[in-house]
Every structure is written in C-alpha cells, then in structure tokens.
Amino acid sequence: MSDRKQFRDLASPEEAREVIDGLDLSPGVERVDLDDADGRVLADRVDARLDVPGFDRAKVDGYALRAADTFGASETDPVEVECVGDIHAGSEPDVSVDEGTCAEISTGAPVPPGADAVVMVERTARDEDTVTVRTSLAPGDGVMVAGADVAAGDRVLGPGTLLTSREIGLLAALGMETVPVRAKPRVGIVSTGDELVRPGGEVSHRAGQIYDVNSYSIAAAVRDAGGEPVLYPHAGDDYEELERVLRDAADDCDLVLSSGSTSASAVDVVYQVVEERGDLLLHGVSVKPGKPMLLGEMGGSAYVGLPGYPVSALTIFRTFVAPKIRDAAGLPEPRSATVEGTMAVRERYGEGRTRLMPAALVESGDGETLVYPVDKGSGATTSLVEADGTVTVDADTEYLDEGETVEVELFSPDVRPPSVFAVGERDPGFDRVLDRLSNPRFLGLGSREGARRLRNGVPDVAVTTDNRGEGEELASWTREWGLVVPAGNPLAVSGIADLVDADVTLSNRTGASGLRDAFDDALAELADERDSNRRTLAEDIDGYERETKGTESPARAVLEGNADAGLALRATADRLGLEFVPLGEQTVRALANPERVEKRGVKELADVLADVEDVLADLAGYEA
C-alpha cells in the first residue's frame, strides 16, 4: 500500500506541454529511393546539377526551320521551304537546317543545328519535299530552350519541403535516384498488462483476458503523425520484465511509449521503473481522460507513459504526443477543423480537470449543428468511433447547458456529421437498411431510450417496438420472437409457462430493449390467466434478472451452454443455427423526428424504407 501513487499535484496541460517540448527526439537524416520519397520531408537543399531540358526541344510536331524564312508568311501569302530530313525524340539529329530548308520534327525531339523555331504541322502543307508554311514565326516559337524548366546550378527545393507527387516529378527530372530526407522518429510501443492478448490469439474471458487495443491504435496514430511505430512484446506488471523491455525499446528508438500501469495500483510499476532507471519529469496531468500520464527520459530516449484505458491513451497521444512527433518528423501541423454547434443536452461535469470530451454532431432540420457528448467511459473503444471530435471543457466549468454554444475540434478536417442519425432498438432488419445508406450513424440503445431521445429532439430517427415513441412513421415491419433452445430442445420448452413452472434457466435481455418488452407483456398475460401478477411469475423464472446487452447475447449464452433458453428473434436463431420456440410477433417502427423529415439523410432513409419488403426478403421471421 505504501508504494501507491497519489495524484495530489496534477500538472496543468500547459506545464505538460512545456515538458514535452523539452524532450529531445530529433531523428537523423537518411537517403531513400525516389519511389519511397512520397510524404517524406527533404533534409537538405537540392540544387539542379543539370539543365532541364538539357537541349533545345521541339514543343510541337511540325517542321524545324529558320524563323527568318517565314517572315511575312500568312494563310493568303505562304512561303515554301524544302524538307531535308526528319528528327525523332530520343535520337540525335543527323541533319542541319540552312536558309530555305526545314526538317520534320516530333514533339520532344532536339531542334537541329541551324533551326531556331518549330512550326506546327497544322499550319503547313506538304507536297513531296516541298513544305508550304502559312504563318510567320519568331525565333524560339515552338521550342523549349535548354534550361527553361530548371537551369543547372538553380536552388530547386529547400530543406523541410514535404515531398509530394509534384516535387518527386521535379527530382526525377533532375535524375535523382535517391533523396536525403529526415528520418522518421522511431517510436517504440510497449503495452503493459498481464491481461493482454494480440489480435489473432485466443482470449479467455474467464481469465479476464482482453485483446490489446493500444498497441494498434497508437501505432496507427504514430504513423499518421509521421513516425515509425515499432511494437515490442507485451510486458506484464513485473518490474524486471518491464525494465528490460523499456530498455530494449529505448536503445532502438527516439521515443518510447508505454501504455497502462501508470495509475495508482500497487502493481502499476511503470513509473517506478522510469523514476529509478531514467528520469521521471512529470506524473499526472489535470485532464480527463488521461490523468495518470507520465513524461520522462530513459536510456537516451524520450519517454511518455500513456494510461491503459484506450480512450485515455489515444486522447493523450493526440493531444500531447502527436504534435511532438510531427515536429520531429518536420511535418507541418495538420489542418485542424472546428465546428461550432449547440449543445443538444445538458452535460454536467465539475471534476476540476480540463475535459477533452468526445462529442458527436447531428444536423438539425434547419441546418443548425447540434452537439451531444459521447461518453461510454475511457475503457470503451466506441467512445471515439461514435464521436466526431472533442469539446475542450475548462477545469472550472460545472456543466454545459442545453442550448449553449460549444466548439468541437473535429478528429480530422474530413470528418462529416452522419447523413442520418438513428437511435433505438437493434434490429437485424434495420441493420440491413443501414447497410444501404452512406455514412449513417446508429446507436443501439434500445426501444425505450430511442423513444426518449426522439422526444428530446436529438436524433433524426428512432427505431422502436410496438407502440413506443411518437414521430413520423417512415415504415414498420414485424419480427417473430420467442425462445432459443439447444438442438433437440432437451428440456421440451414450449412456452413461457415452462420457464415459470419448470427448472429452466433463462438468459434475458435488458429492460431497455423492445424484445424484453414483448416478453414482459406475454408474462403479464400469463399472470392474468393465473390471477397472479407479472412480478410474482418473474420471481419464479430462473435467470429472469440475468440481463444481457446485445440482441444475440441470450442466444449466444445458450450456444455456450450457459443457459437453457434465451430470449431471441427467429432471425437470430436462424443465423446461429439454434432451435426456436415461437412466442409472438412484434412490430418494429422507424419514426422520424417531425422537424427533420425534409433532411436529406432522412429522405434517403425513407427511400430505402419504401422498399423495406425487398430489404427484409429472406430474413427469417420478418414481414413487411
């Protein structure tokens, strides 16, 4: 206990930024092949070592001649010259042009000695060796002279230039096979935690294992910032192991990032390693999420300890680390884009830390941008996927009021609000509808929450079951629901009465879901028949209180042998190959916010729903 870290004195975000500014992670210079130079930053100045073009070059197909010979020529008063040969691109001229003569020439070929202009073929006529020229030319017409593009000795590109297709074209014209560029900062990533398994491996939920998120999200973000990520093996919460991996990474990298183990637990040893084996410059910053961030140096490399929670790790990376990597890589700050919007709901805060609040956008019917917080907690990867950017909330702000104007910094300038924003019951039929739309957003919060949010005017559309919710009905369909049971229905479950009367374990859905509503209504009916009440019957159902999150969760519980029966849709039973005991049909409705029916995305949704029969065709238990 005595070793636990207390976060009494958190650094301000500005202090953290200053410490990061002071870290040294300047990578050197390397030469790369021209084909690998795209997106790199030139380390040195490039001077032209030759003329481009290297010779006087024909700009058009036609005849090379002496401009003086065409003096005064026109359509009505042409001149004639004699053709003495021809010249092709890529070969040395074997003729020269004298007074009164010309040579046929193709675009890009060297202008022959004696000629000072090229007339395009369209302004001439030819009869045997006689060429009639119907225009007059000045010296240099139709010719790109040597060095006109770049002259030998010119300074062509400066250090720090970002190489794109255009600059690469110029370097190729100069014949450069390799170019000196700033090396990308090498960024070692060390994820800590005994619970981590790399995607591709098997996780044991019983043992509390999870897939490693941060190694991958942070590696992608490092690459995006212009660094080169290097993944190191997971380190457990063991001092020696962690020290060894961090040292390896520090030996090989300009910057080492660890994730996890930064916090208050006795097993969170990473700060101890940095404190004892390196130089711990800062621990704890007054931001949410990401409070336990560490900054320091170790083995000649800069070091940042990111918190373990994926949202915290990525937020700290984006806010503090990415700008540093970009700077070291010589890349410009990316264009940032901010959008002003109106808070759609009231959001309380008051934790005394600067909050980088994930927020999402939705456009109201009249073009106003509404902003709502997306906070499923620092441990939920969807917190960032379901958001469009962040709102920075001052440490001393107690709440953001509904209707208050806020500024959202978008995750990237390309982020667009979703075309249509729907909330409500997860439904395999509506999933198919979503597949046919471009850039929709759907939050599966259940029928009840969908109806509630539609009433509060935030989403464009709610998906609800039976008669829940009010709005413009865009479409409705029915879905068959019931119980899934293992193959062969070993306990011979034939209805709800069996759940009440027999020894059958149920896996139920959450109270927010429409499927659960249907079940509870049927249970209430049974209670009426028995002169009892729903609650009493529910108490007799083993597992009634075992609520699950997903539409398929109860069916999956049956599949895994954790329940004898699960509340489910026929479509789910069909998909998972389970036996199904039908109990009823339920109506699903897509309801539009009445003020948004004219919104483009809502109309697109309505168009898809107009063919709902087609969309739902062959989905088991569905009828439109």
Ligand X SMILES: Nc1nc2c(c(=O)[nH]1)N[C@H]1C(S)=C(S)[C@@H](COP(=O)(O)OP(=O)(O)OC[C@H]3O[C@@H](n4cnc5c(N)ncnc54)[C@H](O)[C@@H]3O)O[C@H]1N2
How far, in Å, CA of 99 to CA of 102, rounded? 8
Handedness of CA 264, 266, 270, 274 (dihedral sign): positive
Check if the beta carbon of residue 461 is closer than 8 Å to that of residue 499.
Answer: no
Among 283, 288, 326, 546, binds ligand MOO (CB under 6 A): 288
Among 70, 124, 136, 262, binds ligand X (CB under 6 A): 262
How far, in Å, CA of 565 to CA of 507, rounded? 6
Among 11, 73, 79, 196, binds ligand X (CB under 6 A): 196
Q: What angle do CA 524, 528, 533 make, to 5 degrees?
A: 60
Shortest distance, position 490 Cβ to ligand MOO, whole Å: 45
How far, in Å, CA of 287 to CA of 301, rounded? 25
Q: In sequence order, what are the residues at sequence separation of 6 or more whose Cβ sits closer than 8 angstroms to the Cβ of residue 599?
A: 363, 365, 420, 460
Segment lying near ligand X (by CB under 6 A), choices 188-196, 338-346, 402-410, 601-609: 188-196
* Per-residue contact flags (x/-) with ligand X for residues 7 to 46, judged by CB under 6 A: x---------------------------------------
**Does residue 213 bind ligand X (CB under 6 A)?**
yes
**Largest Cα span, the chain:** 119
In three-state form (DSSP H/G/I as H, E/B as E, the rest C), the secondary structure along 476-499 is: EEEEEEEEEECCCCCCCCCCHHHH
In three-state form (DSSP H/G/I as H, E/B as E, the rest C), the secondary structure along 270-311 is: HHHHHHHHCEEEEECECEECCCCCEEEEECCEEEEEECCCHH
Shortest distance, position 242 Cβ to ligand MOO, whole Å: 21
**Does residue 284 bind ligand MOO (CB under 6 A)?**
no
Q: Residue 172: helix, strand or coil by DSSP?
A: helix
| Residue 261 interacts with, from ligand X, ligand MOO, none (CB under 5-8 Å by kind) | ligand X
| Residue 214 interacts with, from ligand MOO, ligand X, none (CB under 5-8 Å by kind) | ligand X
**Does residue 214 bind ligand X (CB under 6 A)?**
yes
Taking the least distance from each CB to ligand X, the nearer of 353 and 453 is 353
How far, in Å, CA of 498 to CA of 522, rounded? 13
Helix (H) or strand (E) holding 384: helix 382-385
Segment lying near ligand MOO (by CB under 6 A), choices 54-62, 218-226, 285-293, 325-333: 285-293
How far, in Å, CA of 20 to CA of 33, rounded? 32
| Residue 260 interacts with, from ligand MOO, ligand X, none (CB under 5-8 Å by kind) | ligand X
**Does residue 292 bind ligand X (CB under 6 A)?**
yes
Among 70, 101, 319, 378, binds ligand MOO (CB under 6 A): 378
How far, in Å, CA of 283 to CA of 89, rounded? 67
**Does residue 354 bind ligand X (CB under 6 A)?**
no
363-382: contacts with ligand X (CB under 6 A): 378-379
**Does residue 315 bind ligand X (CB under 6 A)?**
no
Shortest distance, position 316 Cβ to ligand MOO, whole Å: 8
Residue type, 230: V
Segment lying near ligand MOO (by CB under 6 A), choices 211-219, 234-242, 283-291, 411-419: 283-291
Taking the least distance from each CB to ligand X, the nearer of 261 and 447 is 261
Residue found by looking up tokens 């590109």 in the block: 157
CA distances from 322 to 5, 24, 115, 122, 330 (A): 27, 14, 58, 58, 12
- The binding site for ligand MOO (CB under 6 A) comprises 288-291, 307, 309, 312, 378
- The binding site for ligand X (CB under 6 A) comprises 7, 191, 193, 195-196, 210, 212-215, 259-264, 268, 289, 291-292, 307-310, 312, 378-379
